[in-house]
Amino acid sequence: MNVKRDVVITEVALRDGSHAIAHQYTVDQVLRVAKALGEANVPYIEVSHGDGLGGSSLQYGLSHTHEMELIEAAVSVSGNSKIAVLVIPGIGTIKEIKEAANLGVKMARVATHVTEADVSAQHLAVAKNLGLETVGFLMMSHMAPVDTLVNQASLMESYGADTVYIVDSAGALLPHQVAERVRALRHSLSVNVGFHAHNNLSLAMANTLAAIQEGAQRIDGSIRCLGAGAGNTQTEVLVAVLEHMGIVTGIDLYKMMDTAEDIIAPLLKVPQEITRDNLVLGYAGVYSSFLLHAQRASKRFGVDSRDILIELGKHKVVGGQEDMIVDVAAELAQVQAAARI
């Protein structure tokens, strides 16, 4: 069914939500979720390891099921919804993009740190040549000034991105900062501008609305808020809010509500809420996917997880530096032990 949408939503629970369940999605779970999202007429459904294609590893977390099996399952039941994948150069490879495309994926989202757009060129070019819709994903966008963000977004546009996203990976941006960034990209780019929020400071919805009001055409959401840290903008709530605003998403609100309640909620070990650790992620500006790693290191070394996250923020650690979490926890344990002597 073709629907003219004022805002195009990508549902990320089957990718970003993988962080929240330690990358343990099964084929059966993905089949149920993707089928329900397709029936609700969600335009794009992102599926992969939380850290993108090739992310299953000791460093990032081992998947329960190979992501290509999950992608194939999602494609088979998603109806008119298109399946998207995330790839982070240095983790995911060209080979995996091609494999995903052969399985029926229609969109590739190539993610880099906000100052490292240049490493996306090859991946975006290959995805474009495969006939995929291409998205540049500038992670940790709070860590760069607006002019740098514009420069990096322009690079992604020059490499063939059809859309460039401002990604608030830490959930650290405030609404006026989101508005400023979207406005700058809309003024400088000829391609679509997107926004991906995290809810660590309870601002995902406010930030998303600020992005839309400044002209962002592509928005990410996660049903039942299922995502890294405190989760993302809650998709079913966003659809309801946008309907009140007269903004068309083309998504069936009742079906999304039912999917959230009947299918997604049972997958959650604990509700997606703003805990003390989630709050510190946003406060310290730390990558949301670091949460489970920091909590494990906290138990291993007997150090408060908040201290670990604050120290990571001071080090300005970014995605791909998960090994630093253990180093920081070990150092803090030594310092605290010495202080007790």
Q: How many residues does this entry show for the chain?
A: 341
User: Between helices 276-284 and 291-301, what is the axis angle to 10°?
Assistant: 110
Q: If you average pLDDT over residues 55-65, what whole number do you get?
A: 82
Whether 19 is catalytic is: yes
Asked if residue 165 belongs to a known ligand binding site, the reply is: no
Cα–Cα distance, 166 to 124 (Å, whole number): 17
Going by pLDDT thresholds of 50, 70 and 90, the confidence category of residue 4 is confident
Reply yes or no on whether the pLDDT at 243 is more than 80. Answer: yes
Going by pLDDT thresholds of 50, 70 and 90, the confidence category of residue 93 is very high
Cα–Cα distance, 270 to 283 (Å, whole number): 22
Asked if residue 78 belongs to a known ligand binding site, the reply is: no
- Residue spans of beta strands (DSSP E) within 41-184: 44-46, 82-87, 107-113, 133-139, 163-167
Q: What single-letter DSSP state applies at residue 264?
A: I
Q: Give the residue, 251 or 285, on which the prediction is more confident.
A: 251
| pLDDT reported for residue 106 | 98
Q: Give me the domains of the chain, ranges plus CATH numbers.
A: 8-267 (3.20.20.70), 276-340 (1.10.8.60)
191-205 pLDDT, tens digit per residue, is 999 999 999 999 999
Asked if residue 23 belongs to a known ligand binding site, the reply is: no
Q: Whole-prediction pTM value?
A: 0.92
**Which of 19, 113, 123, 142 is an active site residue?**
19
